[in-house]
Amino acid sequence: MVDPLARFLDHLRLDALSDSGHTLSSLLPSGRLAVPATGCQRRFTVAVVCYFAASVESYRTAFAAWVIAVRPERCPHCGGEHTSILWGSYRRWVYTTTDRCQVRIERVRCRLCGVTDALLPSFLHLFRRYLLPLIQKAISLALDAGLWGEVLADAVGPYDAPAPSTIREWLWSFAHSAEWLLPWLQRTLSALEPLTALDPGRAPAHLQTIRNPKRRAAFTRAWQTLRLAEMLYAAVRRRQPDLAFRADSLLAFLAATRGAAGRIPRLLWPQAASQAP
């Protein structure tokens, strides 16, 4: 089992050289990332998002072998080769619409620069308990299908799980993140395929008719971000035909790609976090 993203990492590194915002290294105060971890490990920890296509249950079963398979060969912070050592694990909650369980998250530490990373399976997102495909479903139902409020909550899960306020927060966090995700996607796509037209097309009518101009602009930008993420997936897939993310893993792909490009693999802000990723 090899992380399929590792192979196109070099394609995306060129972007890290040409852009000053949100690179991993730009967020390193004195060689440490500005996302604190909790527990006895007081060093700063970020997440390396690693592709895992199967279920949470399979992840729990395959955990030990998976950790060995996806352990970074090259440190994403200093570039050191084969410098990662396993650095213990912590437990983290995973929520679905009907259940919750705990999974182990492995930490690795670079012997060269000392930065610790959490190896996050791609069905999880930093600091979010719900499965990322579920978060994507909620965002897509709102932006693509125009569902909102109670109707949206009912379509995402039964009995208000997740709560409507949680879904609302996902949407606004993603819309806020689109302010920098969209230009990053435009730059990355331009670098990968300079001749590609980057027009995401006309936003759906339900977005164009939002009365509040701030909200209309934010949600339209978020919708454009989803379209460009699909274009990026198509572009990468043309270079690497065996790369296979499922349709419900578009955000997982986006997060993993940002990680591969040397960016914080985070699609939903706010930035402040008081727990391990």
Angle at 250 between CA 225 and CA 24, to 5 degrees: 70
- Examine residue 75 and tell whether it contacts Zn ion (CB under 5 A): yes
Closest CA to 263 of 48, 78, 85: 48
Q: Of 61-69, 104-112, 161-169, 211-219, which part binds Zn ion (CB under 5 A)?
A: 104-112
Least distance (Å) between residue 183 CB and Zn ion: 28
- Examine residue 210 and tell whether it contacts Zn ion (CB under 5 A): no
Show contacts with Zn ion in window 146-205 (CB under 5 A). none
The correct pick among 80, 164, 183, 204 for binding Zn ion (CB under 5 A) is 80
265 to 141, 162, 241, 252, 268: CA distances (angstroms): 23, 23, 23, 9, 10
Q: Of 107-115, 133-141, 211-219, 226-234, which part binds Zn ion (CB under 5 A)?
A: 107-115
Q: Report the C-alpha gap between 9 and 26 in whole angstroms.
A: 19
Least distance (Å) between residue 173 CB and Zn ion: 29
- Examine residue 78 and tell whether it contacts Zn ion (CB under 5 A): yes
Write the burial class of residue 37 (CB in 10 Å: 0-12 exposed, 13-18 middle, 19+ buried).
buried
Site mask for Zn ion (CB under 5 A), range 108-127, x = bound: --x-xx--------------
Q: Report the C-alpha gap between 68 and 189 in whole angstroms.
A: 32
Q: What is the Cβ-side half-sphere exposure of residue 223, based on CA atoms within 13 angstroms?
A: 22
Closest CA to 277 of 114, 55, 37, 27: 37
Q: Is 116 or 188 the residue whose CB approaches Zn ion more closely?
A: 116
Least distance (Å) between residue 79 CB and Zn ion: 7
Number of residues lying near Zn ion (CB under 5 A): 7
- Examine residue 28 and tell whether it contacts Zn ion (CB under 5 A): no
- List contacts with Zn ion (CB under 5 A): 75, 77-78, 80, 110, 112-113
